[in-house]
Amino acid sequence: MHSYDVTVTTSAPPEVVWKLLVDAASWPLWSKVDSLDTARSSGLDPDGDDGVGAVRAFRTGRTVTGERLTEKVEHRLLAYEDAFIASMHNYRARIELTPTATSGTVIHWHGEYDTSWLMGWIMPRYLQKFMQGMAEGLARYAEEHKPAP
């Protein structure tokens, strides 16, 4: 079993970060994914508040990965598992949001997965860096789009 674990702090409040996380259509705006593949997604909320059971398919280059939401605690936790990810198996991830004393948010994004022996040489380092970029992109975008004081 492999894992990744990233933590980033943003000055944006949890409500702003949360809104971006639960709206799959926003992910290409702040993350390393190129687009939301609506044809391969299912159960997406038209108002951008995807619920447990929704499958969100994201395209990055030629690769499309599908993630099924498994747990949702408003403004605090979004968890998902692989619905279809060719290079990984038994993938489970959690994004935990913790408010800071200064009205910001700590974003803790971590996951575990299995992969083939060959991919086991490549995937851990690649995915750690990729997910660090995801968390940093979310933090920056949330800061740029938080309400003015």
For the chain, give every domain's residue range.
2-144
What is the per-residue pLDDT for 56?
95
What is the per-residue pLDDT for 88?
78
Rounded CA separation 31/134 (Å)? 5
pLDDT at residue 146 tops 80: no
> Hey, what CATH topology would domain 2-144 get?
Alpha-D-Glucose-1,6-Bisphosphate; Chain A, domain 4 (3.30.530)
DSSP three-state, residue 127: helix
Contacts of residues 79-86 at CB distance under 8 Å and 24 or more positions apart, as own/partner, are 80/56, 82/113, 83/55, 83/57, 84/40, 84/57
The amino acid that residue 48 corresponds to is: G
Biggest distance spanned by C-alpha atoms of the chain: 51
This prediction has a pTM of: 0.91
Q: What percent of the chain has pLDDT over 90?
A: 72
